[in-house]
Structures are given as structure tokens and as C-alpha cells.
Amino acid sequence: MNPSRSTRIALYVYGIATIFFLYVPLLSVGFASVSKARYLSFPIKRYSTKWYGDALQSETVRDLLVTSLKVAVIVTVISMVVAFFGALAFARYNWRYRTLFQKLILLPIFFPQTVLGLALLMWFNSVGIIPTWKTAIVAHLVWIAPIATLIVAIRAYSFDPALEEAARDMGASTMTILREITLPLLMPGIISAGLFAFLLSWGNFPLSLFTTGADSTLPEWLYAKMVSGYSPLVPTLGVMSVVGSFLLILLAFSLNWLIRSVRESRSAEN
């Protein structure tokens, strides 16, 4: 019952068209970022990298980048730790409230983020916390930690509990088992969860909107400028943010490849 040749070709074309569709807007942003004119119109007449120079020298831009980076790094670290344990509770251990826990984790993902941000703003206000970039970390965690947990859980589903049982039978303590067996086995999942956490936090806008107080992350600033008071720096910073994300992904992929090839050459030697 394999689909006919023409159906297969049509599906491939459709797939490629979808990728194109997803990236067209980024293409426009890319062109806009190197247009010399202050008020953009296509086709672009003169190209210039002037706006990149401006962006790199601007202090506002540096503050935005630093704030976004601080939030993303802390969210990543906390998410990785929480997701490691959360995934074990989600997928590995048979405990009483496991299904309830699984459902609780899904709820924040199925939730409008803008509303979640506002709810947190009211909550912070009513317990007397003034929102800054630190409260944005909490907001990001509500959404990102569950996603990270799901990613590690996929890995946790595929590992054999007999390995842990064997270690326990040979007298290993719970801590030793976690450190020597569970953690290394889940590591690939934890690292991809960390990558997801960083990138999702770096690009997140709706959760930051109400929870950063007087501070501002890069996506927030871009939104403010898009909705009112356009600045030619918008496409430039957009491109810089995207390039940053993609470089990180590239780095992760090449590290992964490097580790794998080192391991393979080692096992070939033995």
C-alpha cells in the first residue's frame, strides 16, 4: 500500500514548500536589516551594514542582550535540574500520583502565555514583590520547565529499569545509582532539554511582557518598537537574535558529532 510515485513527489514538494513558507519572513527581515534607507521599501536600492554598527555600539542594545542572556542562562540551569528529577517522576518511577503529576505538567503548556504573565504580575504584586528580570525567570520556568521535563521523559521512557535494579541488588545506594547510572543514561535528554530551555527563553516574548518590570528583554523591546515608533534597528536586532540562536544550535550539533566520533575512535582502538 505504498503511495504512488507521483504522490510521493507531491509530498516532498509540499514539505519543501512548507520549509520555505516558514522561513520567508526571516528572509525579508534579513534583507531589511542591510537596507541603507531609514524607511524601508523593496526592492532595496542601497545596501549597508550601518545599522549593525549602530546596534553594536548602542548601550540600550547591550543592556537588552545582557538581560535576555541572564534570564535564559538561569532558566536553562534550573530547568535542567528540575527536568531530570521531574522526568523520573513522570516516566520512570511507579508512584501513586504519577498520572495526576503528568497532567499537572501539561496544563501550563496548554495555557495562553500572555494571561499567564498577567496572572504572575498580580501574584507578585499581592505578595509584595516588585517585578524585575528576576521575576521573568520565574515566569519562563512555569512554561519551560514542563517542556524540558517532557523532553527528558522521552529519554527516560526508553531506558531499562533492570539496570537500576541490578545496581541496587549489588548493594548500591540510591544516590550512587542516580549518579552512576540514571544521570549518565539521561544525559543526552538533559542536554537537549537545556538547549530547548535556553532557546525558548531567549526568544520568549509573551511571558516577559508583564513580568520584567522596568527591565526589558530583546523580544520585548522589538515588540514595543514594532507596535509603535518603528526603528531601523528592529530588523537588525531581529537578525542578531536569530543568528545567535542558530549559532548555538550549530555549536550543539557539532559538539554532539565531535563527542560521538571521539567515542567511536576510542572503541575502535580497544
Partner 1 sequence: MERIDRKLGLLSALPLAAILALSFLAPLVVVALFSIMPPKVFDLAHMPNFAAYSVFFDQGYYKSLLWSLGMALISTLILFVICWPLAYGMAKVFGRFSLILTIAVVMSLFVSENIRLFGWVLTLMKGGLIEGHLRAWTGVGYDSPLYNTGIIIFGLVYVYLPFMLFPLAQGISMVPDDTRQAAADLGATRWQILRQIDLPLAAPGIMVGSLLSFVLAAGALAESKILGGQAVIVIADDIETAFTFGQNWPLGAALSVILIIIIGGLAILGVNRIDLDAIMGRKR
Helix axes 218-227, 233-269, angle to 10 degrees: 150
Query: Can you tell me the distance from the alpha carbon of 92 to that of 225, in angstroms, rounded to the nearest whole number?
Result: 46
Task: Using CB under 8 A, count the residues that bind partner 1.
Answer: 103
Count CB neighbours of 95 within 10 A: 9
For the segment 209-268, give every residue that binds partner 1 (CB under 8 A): 209-210, 218-219, 222-223, 226-227, 234-235, 238, 241-242, 245-246, 249
For cell 545582557, the residue is: 66
Grid coordinates belonging to 25: 519572513
* Min separation Cβ 151 and partner 1, Å: 10
Give the nearer residue to partner 1 in terms of CB position, either 188 or 268. 188
Give the nearer residue to partner 1 in terms of CB position, either 52 or 101. 101
* Min separation Cβ 171 and partner 1, Å: 14
For the segment 82-121, give every residue that binds partner 1 (CB under 8 A): 82-83, 85-86, 88-91, 93-99, 101-116, 118-121
Tell whether residue 154 is a contact of partner 1 (CB under 8 A): yes
* Min separation Cβ 57 and partner 1, Å: 22
Identify the residue among 47, 49, 56, 123 touching partner 1 (CB under 8 A).
123
For cell 580497544, the residue is: 270
Identify the residue among 72, 139, 193, 233 touching partner 1 (CB under 8 A).
139
Cβ–Cβ under 8 Å, residues 107 and 149? no
Give the nearer residue to partner 1 in terms of CB position, either 66 or 252. 252
* Min separation Cβ 188 and partner 1, Å: 16
Grid coordinates belonging to 102: 503528568
Give the nearer residue to partner 1 in terms of CB position, either 5 or 266. 5
Please state the separation of Cα 249 from the chain's center in Å: 10
Tell whether residue 24 is a contact of partner 1 (CB under 8 A): yes
Using DSSP's 3-state secondary structure scheme, residue 35 falls into: strand
Tell whether residue 133 is a contact of partner 1 (CB under 8 A): no
Count CB neighbours of 146 within 10 A: 22
Tell whether residue 138 is a contact of partner 1 (CB under 8 A): yes
* Min separation Cβ 22 and partner 1, Å: 4
Q: What is the DSSP letter of 47?
A: B
Query: Can you tell me the distance from the alpha carbon of 213 to that of 180, in angstroms, rounded to the nearest whole number?
Result: 43
For the segment 50-79, give every residue that binds partner 1 (CB under 8 A): none
Q: Residues 6 or more apart from 129 whose CB is under 8 A from it?
A: 135
Tell whether residue 37 is a contact of partner 1 (CB under 8 A): no
Query: Can you tell me the distance from the alpha carbon of 95 to that of 130, in angstroms, rounded to the nearest whole number?
Result: 38
